[in-house]
Structure 1
Amino acid sequence: MSDNSALELAKRLIACPSITPATGIVFDEMEAMLQPLGFEVSRFIAGDRPEDEGLGGAVENLFAIRRGPEGARHFAFAGHLDVVPPGEGWGSDPFVPKVKGDLLHGRGAVDMKGSIAAFVSTLHSLPSDLGTISLIITGDEEGPARFGTVALMDLMAERGITPDLCLVGEPTSVNQLGDMMKIGRRGSVNMWITVNGTQGHVAYPHLADNPITKLGTILSEIDALQLDEGTDWFQPSNIEFTDLSVGNPAHNVIPAKAEGRLSIRFNDQHSGDSLSGLVREIVERNGGELNPIISGEPFLTPPGELSGLIGEAITEVTGVEPELSTTGGTSDARFLSKIVPVVEFGLCNATMHKLDEAVAVDDLDQLAKIYALVVKRALS
């Protein structure tokens, strides 16, 4: 294969350790791939992630653009070069890309250096005057995502740049390449509940105020909520309790404080603020305090031009009819959807974030062909 194949480019990116938040060498490699193709490359550090989040440090971002003729359409590809920590127990070094049989192994092979490599590979076959093409690449997707795509969008706004269509290369396929694309995602809000009481001896409850009882009432009321029954494109919103903490080492002491945490993944019938208000009323009515953090709002790109282009290209290359879905967790598409129609499509997600993460070499080649068709037809 040529040095510009999706496989070879993926190897180059995987060989750059880029545990979130990513900076430095992996962006050097990305810039080296794009500049010879006529892209203007901008790199910047947006901020430092707080150390108390466990993954502190600087975040690097890259925006690259190759402008087409005046008035030409603008197609954007978005992705991230940061990866999750590899963990212990790999069969080989996670940052030394290795082809074993039909698979390329390495951290980021699927999520999502492989799809970035596939897209860059297509650029070698696309005419430079086809239209405007940009890449929106962050080093802060796997973490809090505070200094990544949002900062890139600010940069684009400052320069008056707005794409017409945007493809995010997240690994969306399930059992085979092309069987699923994402046209939306649910929103996410995490909530911390604190109930303060009065410490005392269990034999003298009238001299104390037990916060556990109040917290139990709060959680019971929240658990009884039925938020919705789903929509045509979204599954029902769900509430999951994720932590309970009292920290009381003594069996004969009523504690002074009890805490709980819950997470709500919600569809487009709600907003983070509306759900926070709903839960806050229950919490405060029962003597507690609520601290919600909204990770993202739901979005939907209704079936249309972009999903049609991607679906047609998938079927032409693979023979597969893709399912249009809104399942799964959040992605940076939740930010980009505010300024441009966005659809997510990429590799099979079976090994993402796992030991010995791997992608089929043939899938990389097919993905590059799909991306090439999508871009050509979007800009024609």
Structure 2
Amino acid sequence: MSTPRLDLTADPIELTAALVDIPSVSRDESLIADAVEAALRAQTTDFEIVRHGNCVLARTHRGKPTRVILAGHLDTVPIVDNVPSRLTVTAEEGEVLHGCGTVDMKSGDAVFLHLAATLADTVCDLTLIFYDCEEIAAEFNGLGAVERDLPDWLVGDVAILGEPTAGQIEAGCQGTLRVRFTAAGTRAHSARAWMGENAVHKLGRMLSTLAAYEPRRVDIDGCEYREGLSAVGVHGGVAGNVIPDQAQVDVNFRFAPDRSPEQALAHVREVFAADLADGTLTAQVTDSAAGALPGLANPAAAELVAAADGRFRAKYGWTDVARFSALGIPAVNLGPGDPSLAHRVDERVPIGQITEVTQILRAYLTGASRAV
């Protein structure tokens, strides 16, 4: 298939539709990466452009005092009869663009690409990173590959990820920890249950503890993060007439970014200390990722908040802002679209939000918001 042509100077709404119409399910992003690279090379004048696998990187060297990183992933979840894009107008939602990736996050990518092609006079240098494989296991994440292989591209004063936030800044992100708790017993025939030791029954105290758990709320830089400790999976049982000799509960702890993963694990072990101390349960960490502090006190981030009319809130889910935070770069999420509509068959974005985010970032990158 020939490389689709993208007009980066077109309205970002039209550009969003064009991006959506290029299928780019995770691990199949070469066509959209080709299109983005070709458009940047043809329609921008002073960007250094590098291709790394299916990541497309571009940056200016204008000698500005600060550098802003705009990063967005090119991949989507599998398509479910929701490509190509289509526009609808209803009394309830107004003008809405439908299609896989409209929310997560080709509308954000479209805004970044449009601004790169149309802003010749910025108050900061720009770095754009369009990467692959965000929607699948972290080991395949293209941004991680850039961090390993081209670390100088992840140098900046503030990073903006085009994750869907309905046009409102969502700062930082919470960390995530998954722990598998295992109870051991003795297998026996259920007709002679007294001869066994039921592993499933041993989960009772733990599940009661989870049901009674009161999650913490914490304010950081004016953002309220709400933690959550939840059972997300229960496994056990052998057959309908067998006392199970093993049972497991998977617990997910979403923790505020003022905790490290090590502190989060210590807290989880404290919550279930009684079961762990007497040997009822053993614990194994199956997944862990640090959160990201909002960093809104940083001057570059504070200017972005001002450009967004002071509208910001905490990000509860984990996003790649954590990668930038770990490098000491304040990072926020800002993009069109309701995140609750991401990955759905009826994924859709109000076109007004695409325009709104474009205006916010245009004012921020040109310094127009400073004069207000």
Q: TM-score scaled by structure 2?
A: 0.83
Q: Is residue 2:176 matched to residue 1:197?
A: no
Matches within 5 A, 1:231-246: 231-232=219-220, 233-246=223-236
Q: What is the aligned counterpart of 1:312 among 297, 303, 306?
A: 306
Counterparts of 1:326 and 1:348 in 2: how far apart (Å)? 16
Q: Which has the higher helix share?
A: 2
In 1, Cα distance between the equivalents of 2:261 and 2:122? 43
Q: 1:219 to 1:129 in 2, by over 3 A?
A: closer
Q: Is the Cα–Cα contact under 8 Å of residues 158 and 331 in structure 2 kept in the other structure? A: yes
Cα separation, 2, equivalents of 1:26 and 1:292: 36
Change (3 A) 1:311 1:279: closer
Matches within 5 A, 1:325-364: 325-339=313-327, 340-349=329-338, 351-364=341-354
Q: Which residue of 1 aligns with 2:262?
A: 273
- 8 Å Cα contact 1:94-1:106 kept in structure 2: yes
Residue 186 of structure 1 aligns with which residue?
A: 174
Equivalent of 2:160 in 154, 159, 167: 167
- Selected match of 1:150 from 137, 144, 149: 144
Deviations 1:254-281 (A, max 9, x none): 1121111111111134332233244445
The answer to whether the aligner puts 1:253 opposite 2:242 as a matched pair is yes
Relative to structure 1, is the Cα distance of residues 31 and 282 closer, same or farther in structure 2, using a 3 angstrom cutoff? farther
Partner of 1:19: 25
Distance 1:361 1:278, change over 3 A: closer
* Stretch deviating more after TM superposition (298-307 or 260-269): 298-307
For residue 165 of structure 1, report the CA deviation from its aligned partner.
1.5
SS in 2 for 1:171: coil
Percent of aligned pairs sharing the same letter:
24
Q: Structure 1 residues 284, 134: closer, same or farther in 2, change over 3 A? A: same
Whole-angstrom CA distance in 2 between matches of 1:72 and 1:279: 44
* CA distance, structure 2, for counterparts of residue 378 and residue 21 of structure 1: 39
Cα distance in 1 for residues equivalent to 2:48 and 2:324: 21
Distance 1:128 1:302, change over 3 A: closer
Instruction: Evaluate the alpha carbon distance shift between residue 207 and residue 278 of structure 1 in structure 2; reply closer, same or farther with a 3 A threshold.
Output: farther
Residues 15/282 of structure 1: CA separation in 2 closer, same or farther (3 Å cut): farther
CA gap 1:2/1:329 in 2 versus in 1, 3 angstroms: closer
Return the TM-score normalized by structure 1. Answer: 0.81
Is the contact between residue 73 and residue 379 of structure 1 (CA under 8 Å) also seen in structure 2? no
Aligned pair count reads 347
**Number of the residue aligned with 2:276:** 284
Cα distance in 1 for partners of 2:181, 2:349 equals 41
Amino acid at match of 1:5: D
Query: Could you tell me how far apart the structure 2 residues matched to 1:117 and 1:208 are?
Result: 61
1:129 CA displacement? 7.5
| Partner-residue secondary structure (3-state), 1:371 | helix
Residue of structure 2 equivalent to 1:209: 197
Structure 2, unmatched stretches of 5+, are 1-6, 90-94
Match of 1:31 in 2: 37
User: Partner residue of 1:40?
Assistant: 48
Aligned-partner Cα distance in 1 for 2:10–2:153: 31
Structure 1 spans left out of the alignment, 5+ residues: 46-59, 88-92, 316-320
Cα deviation, residue 114, structure 1: 0.7
Match 1:67 to one of 56, 61, 64 = 61
Tell me which residue corresponds to 1:54.
none
Equivalent residue of 2:354, what SS?
helix
Partners of 1:136 and 1:195 in 2: CA distance:
45
Amino acid at match of 1:308: A
- Pick closer, same or farther for the CA change 1:31–1:372 going to 2, 3 Å: same
Residue in 2 that maps onto 1:49: none
Please tell me whether the aligned partners of residues 185 and 326 of structure 1 are also in contact (alpha carbons under 8 angstroms). Answer: yes
Deviation string for 1:229-256 (max 9, x for gaps)? Answer: 4335333422111121213332x42112
Distance 1:15 1:68, change over 3 A: same
Q: Does the 8 Å CA contact 2:232/2:252 hold for their aligned counterparts? A: yes
Decide which of 2, 6, 9 is 2:12's aligned counterpart. Answer: 6
